Amino acid sequence: MCSVITHPVVPLALSVFLPEGTSSSALLIAGAVCSVIPDLDVIGFSFGISYGDMLGHRGLSHSISFAVVLATLLTLTLFRDAHANHFVVFLFLFLSTLSHPLLDALTNGGLGVALFAPFSNERYFFPWRPIEVSPIGVGSFLSARGLQVLWSEFKWVWLPSSVVFAVGQIIRRYVYS
């Protein structure tokens, strides 16, 4: 998995493409939270749920179905009275949530991601996995290994996301003005 500080970078980068009048601090915060929520599945370890179980780490909460359900629930509750297009809000929250398992599928550790849960618990990785997997737990992260992870995330997530954001800003400035 990527670290908790890196997952929100993707929705923040994508936010530049939200139509005028759609973006709000509430929506950006919701997108950032959606991008880290899948990793709440690590609490399952405390309840004896093993890593490879459907409810284990990178299981159901890392699936496309979970992203659809979470985005739908948030759109219909938190943003039901928003003046923004509800489909755009849903799509932003869906992509924010889905960015998490897609980044995890680019890491070099773990058992893979159950993208198609609950219909299948098969775990997937992308063929190219350049991102160093982040250790679970703060103690392990505050080490030389943590610095390797941050450098990897900087190269493979932060820099590309910055380019996406910059391109989006340029498009906004010259296309919509």
Provide DSSP, 29-97.
HHHHHHHHGGGGGGGGGGGT--TTSTTSTTSGGGSHHHHHHHHHHHHHHTTTT-SS-HHHHHHHHHHHH
Instruction: Give the tens place of pLDDT for each residue, 48-99.
Output: 999 999 999 999 999 999 999 999 999 999 999 888 899 999 999 999 999 9
Instruction: Give the tens place of pLDDT for each residue, 115-125.
Output: 999 999 999 99
pTM equals 0.93
Check if the beta carbon of residue 74 is closer than 8 Å to that of residue 93. yes
